[in-house]
Amino acid sequence: MSKDTARVVKKVRENRDITSLFIEEFGESFRKRRAGQFLTLKIMQEGQWSKPHPFTISCAPEDPRLRVTIKKLGVFTSLIHDLKEGEPVIVSGPYGGFCKDIDARGEIVMIAGGVGITPFLSVLRHFRNIRARNHVLLLWSNKSLDDAFALDELNAMSREIPLTIVHNLSREAPGTDLSEYAHQDFPAVFYEPGRCSRDLMKRYLPSDDPAVFLCGPPPMQDYILGELDALEMDSGSVEKESFTWKGIR
CB of 20 to ligand FAD, least distance (A): 10
Pairing of strands 163-169, 189-193: parallel
Q: Select 162 or 217, whichever has its Cβ closest to ligand FAD.
A: 217
94 versus 210: smaller Cβ distance to ligand FAD: 94
Q: What share of the chain is helix, strand, coil (3-state, %, to 5)?
A: 30, 35, 40
Which residues form the interface with ligand FAD (CB under 6 A)?
A: 38, 53-56, 69-71, 73-77, 96, 115, 118, 243-245
CA distance 48 to 26: 19
Q: How far is the CB of 249 from ligand FAD (least distance, A)?
A: 10
Helix (H) or strand (E) holding 190: strand 189-193
Q: How far is the CB of 54 from ligand FAD (least distance, A)?
A: 4
Which positions ≥6 away from 94 have C-beta within 8 Å? 29, 30, 32, 33, 34, 37, 38, 39, 57
- Shortest Cβ contact with ligand FAD: which residue? 74
Cis check for the bond before 94: say yes or no (omega within 30 of 0). yes
Residue at 217: amino acid letter: P
DSSP label at 57? Answer: B
Residue 112 or residue 228: which is nearer to ligand FAD going by CB? 112
Minimal distance in Å, beta carbon 234 to ligand FAD?
Answer: 24
Q: Which is nearer to ligand FAD, 18 or 233 (CB)?
A: 18
Residue 95 Cβ, how far from ligand FAD at the closest point, in Å?
A: 7
Cα of first residue to Cα of last residue in the chain, in angstroms, is 20
**Which of 80/233 has CB closer to ligand FAD?**
80
